[in-house]
Amino acid sequence: MTLRIAVVLIGRNEGARLVASLASLNGQGLRVVYVDSGSTDGSVAAARAAGAEVVELDTSTPFTAARARNAGFAALAPHWPDAVQFIDGDCIVVPDWIDRAAAALMADDGIGLVTGWRSEIHPEASVYNALCDHEWHRPAGEITACGGDMMVRVAAYQEVGGFDGSIIAAEDDELCQRLRKAGWRLIRLPHPMTRHDAAMRTFGQWWRRAVRTGHGFAQVGDMHPGYFARERARVWVYGLVLPLLAFAGLFWFPLLVAVVAAYAMSYVKTAQGLRKSGMATRAALHQAVFLSLSKFPNLIGMLTYRLRKRRGAAMRIIEYK
């Protein structure tokens, strides 16, 4: 017995990255649904030329990755597969991944989701790409959450109601929390899954991505209070409390010294953690700067969510490329 696998691929103005993503799926006999979120670069035509079914989202409703994935999944009805591989349009699928993931699902009916290792195509292109590459490297085994590249059992997806379309960031983490609460196991296999092209070349792109991450911390943390708790606490401390104390320290020098020492200790601890993970010293010292600095855009994202929620405003996506 083999599982029937379909692919839901989402994108917006991915250009050549989308063409490469579609090409990585060729020859596997998979049903591919491409969901487009208002592209203006010919993505829809490229997807159709590659033989994918195309779903174009209504532009009158705010775009989110969650909404796009749900629309792609709905397009599979009524001929449901056994599992769906979700892929972002800036990723290519590694050969043999689909077979490995399907085999894992088939071997254990209690597994609701399988993911693998994602890596950057060009980590050397910028420190921002390198930061992403480090972010993707997580231990294999049973996990609490994963990113958007994942193979999900259809029965599990339907049981929890799919993604929450109102979430603009960390929607994959949120889905994983509901899957776990429903009793499904989530597994990361020790195998390459996808190659990602972050294409981040500027500080502004990195900053906006970090703002979006903070928005995800707050929104998903609101829905699952125990989740992202540590991340939110660190943002409040290093992004808000310590800067306020530093301001007060302008009038009492010892307090300012203590705040500077706290930031220095945090930076050193971060760099040491990167070194322990196997990163070269120079790279660790460089990346630790951005990981320390990220608390400030994270705070902006968290406050943006709070303000939007208070005003009842739409949770619109924060694009970084």
165-182 pLDDT, tens per residue? 999 999 999 999 999 999
In which band, very low, low, confident or very high, does the pLDDT at 320 lie, cut at 50, 70 and 90?
A: confident
Cα 312 off chain centre by:
25
Cα 6 off chain centre by:
21
226-237 pLDDT, tens per residue? 999 999 999 999
Question: What distance in Å separates the CA atoms of residue 80 and residue 202, rounded to the nearest whole number?
Answer: 42
Q: Where are the beta strands (DSSP E) in the chain?
A: 5-11, 31-36, 53-56, 83-88, 91-93, 111-120, 141-142, 150-153, 185-196
CA–CA distances in Å: residue 127 to residues 212, 271, 316: 19, 15, 27
**What share of the chain has pLDDT > 70, as a percent?**
100
pTM of the model: 0.92
pLDDT at 1 over 70: no
Fold adopted by 5-196 = Spore Coat Polysaccharide Biosynthesis Protein SpsA; Chain A (3.90.550)
The residue-averaged pLDDT of 21-39 equals 93
CA–CA distances in Å: residue 160 to residues 41, 63, 112, 182, 208: 35, 21, 11, 7, 31
Question: What distance in Å separates the CA atoms of residue 198 and residue 127, rounded to the nearest whole number?
Answer: 11
pLDDT at 265 over 70: yes
The residue-averaged pLDDT of 287-308 equals 96
| Average pLDDT of the residues of the chain | 94
Bridge partner list, 183: none
Is residue 282 classed as helix, strand or coil in its secondary structure?
Answer: helix
Bridge partner list, 6: 31, 84
CA–CA distances in Å: residue 121 to residues 20, 91, 135, 196, 298: 12, 9, 14, 6, 26
Is residue 4 classed as helix, strand or coil in its secondary structure?
Answer: coil
Domain ranges of the chain: 5-196, 203-311
Residue 192's Cβ-count burial label (10 Å; 0-12, 13-18, 19+) is middle
Instruction: Tell me the torsion sign for CA atoms 302, 307, 312, 316.
Output: negative
91-118 pLDDT, tens per residue? 999 999 999 999 999 999 999 999 999 9
pLDDT computed for residue 24 by the predictor: 95
